[in-house]
Structure 1
Amino acid sequence: MIVRTLEECKNSERRVASETWESVRMLLKDDKMGFSFHITTIFENTETHIHYQNHLESVYCMSGEGEIEVVGGETYPIKPGTLYILDKHDEHYLRAYKDKEMIMACVFNPPITGAETHDENGVYPLID
């Protein structure tokens, strides 16, 4: 059995941050579960370009408000209780509204190692 707390993970190398987001990676590839699990904060009044070409992701909004704009497609509102699934490696922009920092629970398949950050195209590399 694996037992971890969010606070414990925040105070470790499992916390990764950028100018627009912070990801606390509670479950990683080396845990051998076949997926990874993160609690991610999208900072208020920001926009992040993301294109997971090597991973599928499900994201559940626990708090805050914003939107996801699929490149060449629709824009969807995000609020607590919203689940979006990037089942086609959808390239998108993720935005948190002013004064509406979003806290998200995220699942990745294949699992990430914990070292990944977005490259210039919004992609996480596939690390073996």
Structure 2
Amino acid sequence: MIVRKLQEAEQTDRRVVSEGWESTRLLLKNDNMGFSFHITTIYEGANLNLHYQNHLESVYCISGEGSVMAEADGVVHEITPGTIYILDKNDKHVLKAKSEMKMACVFNPPLNGKEVHNAEGAYELQAEEVMDVK
């Protein structure tokens, strides 16, 4: 059994900070579950162009407000607490935060831990693993 506390993980190298967001990776590839699980904060005013070419992602909004738009159809979906969106086709999308948003995110295949978005808004498949695996 694996047990981790968000507040403790935030004090380790499981917390990754980048432009417009930060993510605490609670479950990673080296946990051998076949997916990774993160609590991600999207900062107020963030406007992120993302395209997870190598991963599928499900995102559940815990708090805050924003929107997501899939570039394929241009439809804007409002995000409020209790909303889930699923990027089941490696969807190129734009995520905007009206206020700070807390999101629970699941990635398949799982992340190693240190990933940040590349120039195309994707995570690379081969990335550095976190050092603190507690």
The question of a shared fold, defined as TM-score above 0.5 by the shorter chain, is answered with: yes
Structure 1 distance, partners of 2:83, 2:114, is 27
Q: CA deviation at 1:49?
A: 1.1
Structure 2 distance, partners of 1:114, 1:75, is 30
Structure 2 distance, partners of 1:49, 1:124, is 13
Q: CA deviation at 1:72?
A: 3.5
Output one character per residue of 1:59-114: Cα deviation in whole Å (capped at 9) or x when no partner.
000000000011142110000000000000000110000xx100000000000000
Q: TM-score, normalised by structure 2?
A: 0.92
Unaligned ranges ≥5, structure 2: 128-134
Residue in structure 2 matched with residue 106 of structure 1 by the alignment: 105
The reply on whether 1:78 has 2:79 as its aligned counterpart is yes
**In percent, how many aligned pairs have the same letter?**
59
Structure 2 distance, partners of 1:14, 1:50, is 21
Residue in structure 2 matched with residue 119 of structure 1 by the alignment: 118
Output one character per residue of 1:9-51: Cα deviation in whole Å (capped at 9) or x when no partner.
1000100011200000000000000000000000001101110
The letter of the residue matching 1:24 is: T
Residue in structure 1 matched with residue 96 of structure 2 by the alignment: 95
Residue in structure 2 matched with residue 21 of structure 1 by the alignment: 21
Moved more, 113-122 or 67-76: 67-76
The reply on whether 1:7 has 2:7 as its aligned counterpart is yes
Residue in structure 2 matched with residue 46 of structure 1 by the alignment: 46
Structure 1 distance, partners of 2:34, 2:15, is 20
Q: CA deviation at 1:127?
A: 1.6
Residue in structure 2 matched with residue 33 of structure 1 by the alignment: 33
Q: Runs of 4 or more off by more than 4 Å in structure 1?
A: none
The letter of the residue matching 1:25 is: R
